[in-house]
Structure 1
Amino acid sequence: MSRSPARDHPARPLGPSSPHPTTYPQFILFGDSITQFSSQVLFASLAEWYSRRLDVVNRGFSGYTAPMGYDILRQFFPSAPSPATSRIQLMTIFFGANDACLPGHPQHVPLAEYQRALRAIISFPGVELHQTECLLITPPPVDEWQLGSSERTAEHTARYAAACREVGREMGLPVLDLWTIFMSKAGWQEGSTGPLIGSKDAARNEVLGKLLNDGLHLTVQGYNLLYEALVRVIRDHLPDHLPEKLPYIFPDWKDKLGIPG
């Protein structure tokens, strides 16, 4: 007969309750459907990597553009740190895939407005009060061969990736250039001429097709590349926020039981 886990150790008297529960700092993944659908790979991998140190929170909103994201930011981002609220330590900002819809589509956002919205998110007062480290992610390329409609093109999306990179340079933020990572995997090189990979004016690209499951959203392989790139960016640009540099929020079990070593 198995013993009850509650009887394995002598009961200890409980100390006085804290007026506020202990909160974990948070790593917010903020973006559109590519973020929302990341739970099985990107979100899970980050949660494992930061286990016991940060809570990874998925704030992905399918169909949202950067201006729509800014509009709801104040509704979930704490205005200031307090004992009762978590400090937002890290945040990825991953918009552009919907903003890059062609003019005339309801989700289309002009380039200048897209950049203004990214700047507004980065400059949000709560972000400054929490001293949140923000990291921009460019929209990935699209594969017109897989898309079921003509509301996006490879060339148009490339302009939004470039605009995202420009905001990162301007504001001194690290940028995870997912567009270039995917395109380089597919054989694209800087300065290439001719039709862009992903365009129907170019030959269908099998590598890009394996990274995007419908021409827009990421496959498991695509999310794995995104996770690996995010780890590299944090190591290179935000080394103080690596898991090994962050303390456990609650002590190790040996420390809890007073076991030396």
Structure 2
Amino acid sequence: MRPSIVLFGDSITEESFGEGGWGAYLANHYSRSADVILRGYSGYNTRWAARVLARAVTGIPSASVAAVTVLFGANDASLPTRASAFQYVPLGEYRENLRAICALLRDRWPAAAVILVTPPPVDERGRLRFIGGGGGDGSGLPERTNQATGEYARACVQVAVECGLRVIDIWSRMQMFPGWETSFLRDGLHLTPRGNRLLFEEVVWALGDANLSLEALPADLPLCSDIDPDNAAKYFEEEEEEE
């Protein structure tokens, strides 16, 4: 069975199949080796994600799932006294929700590699430009801060270590590059094409570490270059017999 890679997350995942998105890059990268399945829910935090996970993955053949990425935290880290307070989840609950999500995924797909991804950093000036100088609530302050998001990113890494899972610390990785605020983020939160490319590269590396590189996966059906044009019919009959 052709393996599947499931992407589970908030808007940063939901948007990933857009032009230049990291999920679209993945689908192209694995086009002959694996199916990339999108389960992204814009605006969701881990509290809501934990409640809908079982329903969200219904219908995905369990035997096919080789890996799943989990990317939540950008909404959980919304400040409880600002415009997006309805999305806020306390840090301790965020950890517990991540553990619950990972436990459910491991129970449903025991052989799959679960890869946690931290929320990306936040450019507060970019957020204010996007939502308006009033901050959305008249305070003149952004509804998210990079400092608060960093706490959730570190918590995500801690949960991964505790659970023995792979983790991509994209919050730290992006900030290694000068000018990350506008190079990787288009509105202070969501990814630019370059930000999507960086996340794609990190996910490909993590999948390779889980023995899911292109080199480790067989191509789905024979490559054109491997087919003897004078004996193709017989070759495909043999393929069908093996199935």
Normalising by structure 1, report the TM-score. Answer: 0.75
Name structure 2 gaps, 5 residues minimum.
Answer: 129-134, 136-141, 237-243
In the alignment, the residues of structure 1 paired with residue 199 and residue 158 of structure 2 have an alpha-carbon distance, to the nearest angstrom, of 20
1:251: how far off?
3.7
**Percent identity of the aligned residues?**
39
> What is the root-mean-square deviation of aligned Cα atoms in Å?
2.2
Structure holding more helix per residue:
2
Match of residue 140 from structure 1: 120
Structure number with bigger Rg:
1
Name structure 1 gaps, 5 residues minimum.
Answer: 1-22, 187-205
SS of the residue 1:99 aligns to: coil
1:229: how far off?
1.4
Count residues in correspondence: 213
Q: Does 1:46 pair with 2:26?
A: yes
Question: For each residue in 1:213-252, what CA deviation from the matched residue of structure 2 results, as whole angstroms up to 9, or x when unmatched?
Answer: 00010100111111111122223x31x2112212234344
Match of residue 189 from structure 2: 216
In the alignment, the residues of structure 2 paired with residue 24 and residue 241 of structure 1 have an alpha-carbon distance, to the nearest angstrom, of 12
Counterpart amino acid of residue 31 in structure 1 = G
1:79: how far off?
8.3
In the TM superposition, what are the counterparts of 1:149-228 in structure 2 within 5 Å? 149=135, 150-186=142-178, 206-228=179-201
Match of residue 5 from structure 1: none
1:259: how far off?
6.0
In the alignment, the residues of structure 2 paired with residue 63 and residue 185 of structure 1 have an alpha-carbon distance, to the nearest angstrom, of 27
Match of residue 37 from structure 1: 15
Match of residue 20 from structure 1: none
In the alignment, the residues of structure 1 paired with residue 193 and residue 165 of structure 2 have an alpha-carbon distance, to the nearest angstrom, of 27
In the alignment, the residues of structure 2 paired with residue 34 and residue 207 of structure 1 have an alpha-carbon distance, to the nearest angstrom, of 17
Change (3 A) 1:97 1:61: same
Match of residue 75 from structure 2: 98
In the alignment, the residues of structure 1 paired with residue 60 and residue 10 of structure 2 have an alpha-carbon distance, to the nearest angstrom, of 25
Contact 1:138 1:164 in 2 (8 A): yes
Match of residue 128 from structure 1: 107
Normalising by structure 2, report the TM-score. Answer: 0.80
